[in-house]
Chain A
Amino acid sequence: MKERPMSNFEIVKREDFSDVTYLLEVRHPLMAKAAKPGQFVIVMLNEHGERIPLTIADFDRERGTITLVIQAVGKTTRQMQQECRVGSSLYAMVGPMGVPSPISHAKKVICVGGGLGVAPIYPQARGFKEGGAYVIGVVGFRNKSLVFWEDKFRACCDEFIICTDDGSAGIKGLVTAGIEQAIAKHPDIDEVVAIGPPIMMKGCADATRPHKIKTMVSLNPVMVDGTGMCGGCRVKIGDQVKFACVDGPDFDGHLVDFDDLMMRLRRYTKEERVALDHWEKSCRMQKAIDVAADASPLNP
């Protein structure tokens, strides 16, 4: 018997930042009320889908919505990019998961977002600002055309640094260049929060380590249930093993074994390729069917 989800997880807004990055705003009043910065959801697109973790990029308690910013990389995120429109629904969305980010009493923080990490770092930057801290926002994109939410960041950051790989906007370089710039200007940084691809978070942790600045990162291992019962998301923090879904997703960047995380992220590469090929083939077949149907003499 098919299980009907609690609400229909309806999509109320969609925005495309580029041909790979898109935003979905999903209606879930209870979750909007409960969500805190740093938490994530697990989403299923349909009954056949897999469970994927997506960081909550924003939440609107008045409108009762959760915002997800997604990069179309694998089969599920590409299929969502194709199928999720305003008015359509997700099959399942559960959360808010994870321990909320500790918005500490730091007086001066650098909030760093790389690529897709720009979205979830925003509520943290806003949280710190609301807590009275001096917030330096550092965001990194490959080039100018991929930049998004610049105005939102400028609204909540005291200083805002954009880094692009090709220098088409802001400073040329990775976000670590932005961090170095901020540290050079401010000798009294209390904390750095960095979210982005693991290699970027590793770079940020390495950049702050000699300066002994506390650096929190948000880890993104492969997950299945998200409730602490499978251990698939286990990460090495210092000499301990933690589950990112219930012990994290935030951890001390100077203790995280990033090499282990990146290695474990590759464990389904073969299957991911198969899934993508299978889906692209079915898309091509569907397109061929549609074209044939349009051209058919039976078509009115």
Chain B
Amino acid sequence: MAKKKTIRTIPQERTPMRELDPAVRAKNFDEVACGYTAVDAMREAERCLLCPDQPCVSGCPVGIDIPGFIQSIGEKDLRGAYDILTSTNLLPAICGRVCPQENQCEGVCTVGESLESVAIGRLERFVGDTAIKEGWINIPYIEPNRFKVGIVGSGPAGMACAADMAKAGCDVTVFEAFHQPGGVLKYGIPDFRLPNAVIDAEIDKLRKFGVKFECNTLVGRLFTVEQMTGEMGFDAVFVGVGAGYPTMLGIPGDSLNGVLSANELLTRCNLMRAKEFPAFDTPQPSARRVAVVGAGNTAMDAMRVSIRLGAEKVYCIYRRSAKEAPARAEEVHHAEQEGVEFHWLTNPVAVLDDGKGSVRGMRCVRMELGEPDDSGRRRPIPVAGSEFDFEVDLIVYAIGTNANPIMGQTSKLRLNQWGYIATDEHLATSMAGVFAGGDIVTGAATVIEAMGAGRKAARSMKAYLGLRDIHRPYAGGGASLFGIDRSERNFARVQVV
């Protein structure tokens, strides 16, 4: 019988994961984090105590059975681990790479209280990558029903919703405005963090489930959501168009040549492959010195892309301090290793003109932290008289986004005061049969939250269509009655006396 694991008997150090050398990787777009080997994964799986509390499961936005899949890895049953993972999260190779685990599962891990937490994200990625390599796919027999479902947007929310509805037997079509599916995964997250090959492999898996992808389709303009539920015959629609409309600083010089949003830089580089110009036609702005305003994941991506595009100096300009930076810890760490210079507590006040309509430099003011604001973070206040100028050739704004306006312009979907789609707690919108989730509802958030929203909307859509969900695992406790979700509300309550 195996000896019971305690905090003292497990490997004390977290298994390191090989990463590309910073000096080398700053010149190419190869994936930086190399992933675990099978030996690494076994050792790291050992470190999970399989504790009774399971805080990691509640820490996960979609409630993956984390101890379950880690135990399977330990038993060398990788296929079993994949089955457990995919019963809740369909895209483990993606989430393992981009989830902010330190704020989710790993942040509450029991082992993490005294040692470094179990590297749950790396283990998830290991299983996901193995599945891609081995070509595993779990397609149970699916009884097709007569329901036609439309998904607007092929980003993480749309993909997750599509998978669930396809597994339920619906005829699912995903509409995407770009010429390639993937949404923010494709255009926003660079190859060195999330390779396009991984995204395409996961999309192919969805195709095997029968999901159809129609690209070059701008829903709202080519046809409206009303037309979808009307003459086009869709029985239910999910809107996951994202919140990509970038925010500009609104300071003088915003429109000078050489100022662009992070979205534009990343779309040119990642989706349009401008890094390979002129083999690919889309140009990208080249610059010796780049300043990126912001410290979220998008800002980190913009900085690390700029380094790889050949910038000699890349600055991060952020008005708060390092502690308040919203980016994933690993991204800040990687950016530092690759040579980004961080200027915390610094806020731009103007972009300086070179007299020919292009950027010459930037004027900033130093900040200090005052009392906390609504978000709970300490509010930055300018230090009077601390303005200074410095020279740059390119300025990238990564300070947040707003709702994409096209849905609001072209449909009667009710929006909230900030322009996002208004939904109830089941993600239903003001139009019958139309559901929405992801950034277009919540504002800019993470990939896993978008996927969680896609899955939640799928549950609501199945309830709306009257579909019994035979694939959803029994959620224990009082949540379901013989597998029937009490919140479905399409059966009469029976009191047990």
Query: A241 contacts which chain B residues (CB < 8 A)?
Result: 248, 250, 254-255
Interface residues of A in 214-255 (CB under 8 A from B): 224-232, 234, 236, 241, 243, 246-247
The stretch of A154-162, A166-174, A188-196, A265-273 that contacts the partner chain = A265-273
- Assess whether A94 is interfacial by the CB under 8 Å rule: yes
Q: Are A6 and B214 in contact (CB under 8 A)?
A: yes
Query: B246 contacts which chain A residues (CB < 8 A)?
Result: 229-231
Bound-complex Cα distance A35 to B456 (A): 35
- Assess whether A103 is interfacial by the CB under 8 Å rule: no
Interface residues of A in 252-287 (CB under 8 A from B): 260, 263-264, 266-268, 271-272, 274-275, 278-279
Interface residues of A in 131-162 (CB under 8 A from B): none
Q: Are B222 and A95 in contact (CB under 8 A)?
A: yes
Bound-complex Cα distance A93 to B215 (A): 10
Q: Which of B223, B250, B263 contacts A230 (CB 8 A)?
A: B263
Q: Are A229 and B242 in contact (CB under 8 A)?
A: yes
Q: Are A263 and B257 in contact (CB under 8 A)?
A: yes
Bound-complex Cα distance A234 to B255 (A): 8
- Assess whether A50 is interfacial by the CB under 8 Å rule: yes
Interface hub of B187, B213, B272 (most chain A Cβ within 10 A)? B272
Interface residues of B in 191-232 (CB under 8 A from A): 200, 203-204, 213-218, 221-223
Q: Which of A49, A230, A264, A274 contacts B257 (CB 8 A)?
A: A264
Bound-complex Cα distance A37 to B385 (A): 53
Q: Which of B179, B221, B242, B283 contacts A97 (CB 8 A)?
A: B221
Given contacts A3-B213, A5-B216, A246-B409, contact A231 B248 (CB under 8 A): yes
Q: Are B213 and A232 in contact (CB under 8 A)?
A: no
Q: Are B278 and A260 in contact (CB under 8 A)?
A: no
Q: Are B179 and A243 in contact (CB under 8 A)?
A: no
- Assess whether A92 is interfacial by the CB under 8 Å rule: yes
The closest CB in chain A to the CB of B214 belongs to: A6
- Assess whether B37 is interfacial by the CB under 8 Å rule: no
* Interchain nearest-CB distance for A38 vs B (Å): 12
Bound-complex Cα distance A53 to B283 (A): 15
Chain B contact residues: helix, strand, loop or mixed: loop
Q: Are B281 and A31 in contact (CB under 8 A)?
A: no
Q: Which of A96, A224, A243, A278 contacts B282 (CB 8 A)?
A: A224
- Assess whether A91 is interfacial by the CB under 8 Å rule: yes
Q: Which of B204, B222, B357 contacts A1 (CB 8 A)?
A: B204
Query: A234 contacts which chain B residues (CB < 8 A)?
Result: 248, 255
Q: Are A228 and B406 in contact (CB under 8 A)?
A: yes
* Interchain nearest-CB distance for A36 vs B (Å): 10
- Assess whether B264 is interfacial by the CB under 8 Å rule: yes
- Fill in one digit per residue for B242-259: 1 if any A CB lies within 8 Å of its CB, else 0: 101110101000111110
Bound-complex Cα distance A246 to B261 (A): 16
Q: Are A94 and B257 in contact (CB under 8 A)?
A: no
Q: Are B222 and A231 in contact (CB under 8 A)?
A: no
Given contacts A94-B216, A229-B244, contact A34 B221 (CB under 8 A): yes
Q: Which of B200, B217, B268, B404 contacts A228 (CB 8 A)?
A: B404
Bound-complex Cα distance A135 to B242 (A): 42
Query: B158 contacts which chain A residues (CB < 8 A)?
Result: none
Interface hub of A6, A230, A263 (most chain B Cβ within 10 A)? A230
Bound-complex Cα distance A246 to B220 (A): 11
* Interchain nearest-CB distance for A240 vs B (Å): 10
* Interchain nearest-CB distance for B161 vs A (Å): 20
Bound-complex Cα distance A243 to B404 (A): 11
Q: Which of B179, B204, B260, B406 contacts A94 (CB 8 A)?
A: B179
Q: Are A231 and B405 in contact (CB under 8 A)?
A: no
* Interchain nearest-CB distance for A95 vs B (Å): 7
Given contacts A30-B223, A96-B222, A267-B258, contact A3 B215 (CB under 8 A): yes
Q: Which of A6, A227, A232 contacts B264 (CB 8 A)?
A: A232
Bound-complex Cα distance A63 to B256 (A): 44
Bound-complex Cα distance A241 to B401 (A): 15
- Fill in one digit per residue for B166-206: 1 if any A CB lies within 8 Å of its CB, else 0: 00000000000111110000010000000000001001100
Bound-complex Cα distance A30 to B175 (A): 14
- Assess whether B279 is interfacial by the CB under 8 Å rule: yes
Q: Are A224 and B264 in contact (CB under 8 A)?
A: yes
- Assess whether A75 is interfacial by the CB under 8 Å rule: yes
Bound-complex Cα distance A51 to B215 (A): 14
Q: Are B264 and A92 in contact (CB under 8 A)?
A: no
- Assess whether B285 is interfacial by the CB under 8 Å rule: yes
* Interchain nearest-CB distance for A78 vs B (Å): 12
Given contacts A227-B404, A234-B255, contact A50 B272 (CB under 8 A): yes
Q: Which of A230, A264, A266 contacts B267 (CB 8 A)?
A: A230
- Assess whether B388 is interfacial by the CB under 8 Å rule: no
Query: A243 contacts which chain B residues (CB < 8 A)?
Result: 245
- Assess whether A99 is interfacial by the CB under 8 Å rule: yes
Q: Are A229 and B404 in contact (CB under 8 A)?
A: yes
Query: B277 contacts which chain A residues (CB < 8 A)?
Result: 271, 274-275
Given contacts A48-B280, A230-B267, contact A260 B179 (CB under 8 A): no
- Fill in one digit per residue for B283-294: 1 if any A CB lies within 8 Å of its CB, else 0: 101000000000
Interface residues of A in 73-132 (CB under 8 A from B): 75-76, 91-97, 99
Query: B401 contacts which chain A residues (CB < 8 A)?
Result: 229
Q: Which of A76, A225, A230, A266 contacts B281 (CB 8 A)?
A: A76
Q: Are A278 and B216 in contact (CB under 8 A)?
A: no
- Assess whether A44 is interfacial by the CB under 8 Å rule: yes
Bound-complex Cα distance A34 to B213 (A): 21
Given contacts A3-B181, A241-B255, contact A232 B260 (CB under 8 A): yes
The closest CB in chain B to the CB of A259 belongs to: B357
The closest CB in chain A to the CB of B218 belongs to: A94
Given contacts A51-B272, A264-B255, contact A271 B218 (CB under 8 A): no
* Interchain nearest-CB distance for A279 vs B (Å): 8
Q: Which of B200, B215, B406 contacts A227 (CB 8 A)?
A: B406
Bound-complex Cα distance A224 to B244 (A): 13
Bound-complex Cα distance A92 to B178 (A): 9
- What are 7 contact pairs spanning A and B, CB under 8 A? A48-B281, A94-B178, A227-B244, A229-B187, A263-B357, A264-B357, A274-B283
User: 10 tightest A-B contacts by CB?
Assistant: A229-B244, A271-B283, A267-B257, A230-B264, A263-B357, A50-B281, A92-B179, A50-B282, A231-B261, A94-B216
